[in-house]
């Protein structure tokens, strides 16, 4: 029985960019697995008697191909692009096969070549890949299911990002995503095309608007550079004035003091999935999105004017991990993923049904937090939580803010708010 499968990195200059040992391993292999392009690049170096299998569109079959070949005592090589452990096939195979059955022979990543061509230091660069299934053009508010979502999250805080692309998730599509998210003025983009091939080409640094209208040769690497430092804005406890609010009825917002306590009771983590039901101006959900940079917030608002205001606030805060729908709960939220934390700021008259649904859809140890200003809603919530068996508690919060009066100051009370916190019951 052959001891290990060799996963060997290949660049677009084929054998010219490989070590003698790597080429020897390929020539000795009895089964060579690779994409169409890598198999063609090394056709002269693969033994004529060796079996070749094209993994294009068949990635899920590769672990079983390798395992079966090793059981038969065959010498197996898998050809990968560049560094097999940098958004490559090696990590996938290591998760499916015994790690001791794999030997990884890396090559220089095409990212390294792109930065080398530019003479640009890259140790602080974020590395992304959009080499996934075609999810179509980016739509503002799309969630983690979209192929460009992870890249957008990295761009939120990064100064320099390099991304592997695909024919579908191309540089121009990436540029159009930045336009849709209002990030175009903040970045410039460069595309390295056909690296290590005779027609290798690096574009100039382009504006996002320019790149959105151009076509680029595939394969390529995209490098995005932030032109100016980001504003240093607080992550938590933003002032009420930071959010657009409905006028002339100004004040239809979860005020800063109540917002801070409610967010604290949600016990958010960096990866939390959060629901915001009755989003209003979006203040709670948008602050939650800033506290969960690797998570996502799903929000719903039934009032059309408030929905538009919340969208405006999303754009102002550049909250790319925030999806807002115009609809009602619970009718329009069934497709959302289960939540780690749920905030209810408005119920649309279906409070009991909504609480029971939320408790059911919370993940283990999940938190439900609700804000009420009326005694009737408070009573309904408490009775429903009692029936459900969920642990709960109530905090009444009444803040007073200083206001000037001539050359003095007085305290002006805000409306009292009840904050109900509950946990997912053990029997759920």
Q: State how far the Cα of 176 lies from the Cα of 180, in Å rounded to an integer.
A: 6
pLDDT for the residue numbered 229: 86
Determine the distance from the C-alpha atom of residue 281 to the mean position of all C-alpha atoms in its chain, rounded to a whole number.
23
pLDDT for the residue numbered 428: 56
74: nearest Cα among 4, 159, 150, 174: 4
Q: State how far the Cα of 172 lies from the Cα of 184, in Å rounded to an integer.
A: 12
Q: Are 367 and 288 in contact (CB under 8 A)?
A: no
Does residue 365 have a pLDDT over 60? yes
Task: Give the CA dihedral 176, 182, 186, 189, nearest 10 degrees.
Answer: 0
The whole-number average pLDDT for the span 355-374 is 96
Does residue 2 have a pLDDT over 70? no
The whole-number average pLDDT for the span 263-277 is 97
The whole-number average pLDDT for the span 260-275 is 97
The whole-number average pLDDT for the span 347-352 is 83
Does residue 60 have a pLDDT over 90? yes
Q: State how far the Cα of 204 lies from the Cα of 151, in Å rounded to an integer.
A: 22
Q: State how far the Cα of 263 lies from the Cα of 73, in Å rounded to an integer.
A: 58
69: nearest Cα among 96, 43, 30: 30
Percent of the chain with pLDDT over 90: 89
Q: What is the pLDDT of residues 117-172, one digit of tens each?
A: 999 999 999 999 998 778 899 999 999 999 999 999 999 889 999 999 999 999 99
Does residue 251 have a pLDDT over 60? no
pLDDT for the residue numbered 249: 61
Give residue 250's pLDDT band: very low, low, confident or very high (50, 70, 90).
low
pLDDT for the residue numbered 233: 84
Strand partners, 373: none
Structure tokens at 6: 């060799």
Structure tokens at 60: 């899920």
Q: How far is CA 175 from CA 157, 194, 206, 304, 398, in A?
A: 17, 19, 10, 30, 47
Structure tokens at 51: 């079996």
pTM given for the model: 0.89
159: nearest Cα among 250, 238, 223: 223
Does residue 1 have a pLDDT over 50? no
Determine the distance from the C-alpha atom of residue 274 to the mean position of all C-alpha atoms in its chain, rounded to a whole number.
14
Give residue 362's pLDDT band: very low, low, confident or very high (50, 70, 90).
very high
- Average predicted confidence (pLDDT) for the chain: 93
Give residue 24's pLDDT band: very low, low, confident or very high (50, 70, 90).
very high
Q: Who's near 40: CB < 8 A, 6+ residues apart?
A: none
pLDDT for the residue numbered 232: 82
- ∠ CA 132-136-138, rounded to 5°: 100
pLDDT for the residue numbered 201: 96
pLDDT for the residue numbered 312: 95
pLDDT for the residue numbered 134: 87
Q: What is the pLDDT of residues 160-175, one digit of tens each?
A: 999 999 999 999 999 9
Does residue 37 have a pLDDT over 50? yes
């Amino acid at each position: 029985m052959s001891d290990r499968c060799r996963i060997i990195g290949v660049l677009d200059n084929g054998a010219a960019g490989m070590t003698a040992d790597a080429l020897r391993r390929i020539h000795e292999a009895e089964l060579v697995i690779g994409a169409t392009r890598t198999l063609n690049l090394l056709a002269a170096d693969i033994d004529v008697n060796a079996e070749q299998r094209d993994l294009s569109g068949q990635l899920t079959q590769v672990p079983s191909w390798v395992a079966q070949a090793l059981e038969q005592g065959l010498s197996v090589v898998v050809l990968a692009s560049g560094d097999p452990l940098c958004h490559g096939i090696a990590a996938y195979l290591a998760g499916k096969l015994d790690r001791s059955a794999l030997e990884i022979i890396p090559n220089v990543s095409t990212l390294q070549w792109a930065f080398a061509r530019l003479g640009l230091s890259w140790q602080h660069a974020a590395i992304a890949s959009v080499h996934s299934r075609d999810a179509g053009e980016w739509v503002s508010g799309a969630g983690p299911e979209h192929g460009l979502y992870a890249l957008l999250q990295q761009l939120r805080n990064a100064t320099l990002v390099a991304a592997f692309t695909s024919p579908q998730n191309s540089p121009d599509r990436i540029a159009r995503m930045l336009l849709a998210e209002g990030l175009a003025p903040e970045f410039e983009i460069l595309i390295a095309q056909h690296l290590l091939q005779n027609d290798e080409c690096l574009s100039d640094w382009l504006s996002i608007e320019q790149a959105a209208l151009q076509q680029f040769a595939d394969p390529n690497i995209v490098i995005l550079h932030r032109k100016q430092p980001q504003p240093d804005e607080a992550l938590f406890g933003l002032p009420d004035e930071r959010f657009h609010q409905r006028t002339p009825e100004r004040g239809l917002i979860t005020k800063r003091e109540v917002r801070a306590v409610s967010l604290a009771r949600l016990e958010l983590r960096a990866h939390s999935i959060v629901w915001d039901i009755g989003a209003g101006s979006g203040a709670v959900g948008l602050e939650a999105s800033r506290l969960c940079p690797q998570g996502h917030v799903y929000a719903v608002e039934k009032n059309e004017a408030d929905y538009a205001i919340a969208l405006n606030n999303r754009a102002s805060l550049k909250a790319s991990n925030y999806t807002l729908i115009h609809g009602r709960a619970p009718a329009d939220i069934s497709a959302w993923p289960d939540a780690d934390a749920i905030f209810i700021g408005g119920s649309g008259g279906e409070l009991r049904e909504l609480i029971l649904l939320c408790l059911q859809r919370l993940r283990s140890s999940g938190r439900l937090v609700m804000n009420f200003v009326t005694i009737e809603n408070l009573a309904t919530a408490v009775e429903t939580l009692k029936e459900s068996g969920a642990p709960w508690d109530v905090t009444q919060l009444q803040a007073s803010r200083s206001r000037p009066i001539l050359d003095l100051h007085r305290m002006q009370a805000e409306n009292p708010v009840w904050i109900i916190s509950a946990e997912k019951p053990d029997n759920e």
